[in-house]
Amino acid sequence: MLYCLAVTGALYSAAMKKKAAFITIKQFQSEAASAMLMSKKLNPGQPGTKRLVSQYGARLVCVRYRYDGVQGKRFKTVELILEEAVWQPPVRAFQEDELIAVRVELAEVDWRQRVKRAGGKWNPARKLWELPFGQVRKLGLTERIQSPEVSANGKLAERGQVPKVSDNGKK
C-alpha cells in the first residue's frame, strides 16, 4: 500500500533521487532513521524527564534525543503507552526428549518416587526435578512445569511458572 507523504530536507532529496513521488511508510521510516542519529535514551524519573513525567504520568515509557546532522537540529521524542490490553504469550511446544524442570514439593514423597522412576534428576541449583517432556506428560505433571522466563530483550528474567500445556505439547 502506498501513501503520499510530505517529506522535507534530506528526506525529500532522498525520495527525489529515487524518482518517487509516492513512498511507502516503511521507506519513509528507513529514510528518517538514516538521517537522524539517536544519542540518549532516558527512562521516566531520570534528570531531563521531570516535565514530561508530570505531563504524561505513568503512560511515559522513555524519552529519546535524536540528532539530524543534515538539518543541524536536535529532536526530543517520547514513547507513550496509548492502550493496554490483556495478552497471553504463545506457548511453545516442547520436544518429547527435551529436559523440563518440574516442581515437586518435599512433602510429596509419592510424586518424587514417580519422577525418579521416570528418569528424573534433582537439580539442586534450581531446586527442581528435571526429566524429558514425554515423561512429564505421561505422569500428568504439565501444570507443574517451571522454566526461566525470557524477556523481550532475550535476557533471562525472574523464574516463573510456564502457562498450562496440554497433553499434545500445545496450549
Angstrom CA distances, 39 to 36, 63, 105, 153, 155, stand at 10, 11, 50, 20, 23
Q: Is beta strand 73-80 parallel, antiparallel or unpaired with respect to 36-42?
A: unpaired
In sequence order, the β-bridge partners of residue 79 are 62
Q: Domain extents for the chain? A: 9-80, 99-161
| Average pLDDT rounded to a whole number, residues 153-166 | 44
In sequence order, the β-bridge partners of residue 19 are none
Angstrom CA distances, 131 to 109, 114, 122, 134, stand at 17, 11, 9, 8
Q: What percent of the chain has pLDDT over 90?
A: 43
Q: What is the pLDDT of residue 30?
A: 57
Q: What percent of the chain has pLDDT over 70?
A: 64
* Greater model confidence, 105 or 171: 105
- SS3 category, 166: coil
Q: What is the pLDDT of residue 70?
A: 84
- What is this structure's pTM? 0.40
Contact 88, 61 (CB under 8 A): no
User: 32-65 pLDDT, tens per residue?
Assistant: 555 678 788 999 999 989 999 999 999 999 999 9
> At residue 71, what is the residue type?
Q
